[in-house]
Structure 1
């Protein structure tokens, strides 16, 4: 169970950390996504910070298990919000969302199974 916990958590932290970097460096893709979902561009850095905090929280969870659990739960809620943003504008491009959501959901599941 330890190997699954470490593997899934590291993959989820890498995915969300990579997304955070694209949001924080001002890449065009997050801006285009914000425009498509009718989210103000001023939210893009805030969303990037939330992703970065979640990614760091997942890694910190190796040392403080409750922090990892809370970070994973927060990321699950973040991606539920992303789904709502997609559906609100009628977007059916959900493959990327599904990959991120399933990864952070798996991180939450293995975190709960391993620590609690």
Structure 2
């Protein structure tokens, strides 16, 4: 396991776990983002749960590699959906999206040198 992989994966799990908590407790910022994207506020627990599952899955992936691979791929898909949601409403505020996506992609890509994707 490379230092880069461990560092990026832990950082990705940390920021996604933090984001999950803000969605699950109903913080104002994710409410504003969901409203801006014209999504139902009732989706917040689902979105938070998906982020939490991705964060936990990345950490479990240190012990069970294929779970980490699936978690990283799931986060990449989650943020692909977030991009579509942003563009659908004409939002060009994509800095946060870019950071989260780059870390999710890096977590997935950095798995390869350590012995494949874990399958």
Q: Tell me if TM exceeds 0.5.
A: yes
Q: Which moved more, 1:22-31 or 1:74-83?
A: 22-31
Separation (CA, whole Å) in 2 of partners of 1:84 and 1:4: 29
Aligned length: 116
Where in structure 1 do 4 or more consecutive aligned residues deviate above 6 Å?
Answer: none
Which structure: greater helix fraction?
1
Query: Gaps (5+ residues) in structure 2?
Result: none
Query: Gaps (5+ residues) in structure 1?
Result: none
Separation (CA, whole Å) in 2 of partners of 1:39 and 1:105: 25
Q: Residue 4 of structure 1: CA displacement?
A: 1.0
Contact 1:79 1:97 in 2 (8 A): yes
Separation (CA, whole Å) in 1 of partners of 2:113 and 2:88: 33
Deviations 1:40-91 (A, max 9, x none): 0000110000000000000000000000000000000000000000000000
Q: In structure 1, what is the equivalent of residue 107 of structure 2? A: 107
Q: In structure 2, what is the equivalent of residue 9 of structure 1? A: 9
Separation (CA, whole Å) in 1 of partners of 2:58 and 2:96: 20
Q: TM-score, normalised by structure 1?
A: 0.97
Q: In structure 2, what is the equivalent of residue 96 of structure 1? A: 96
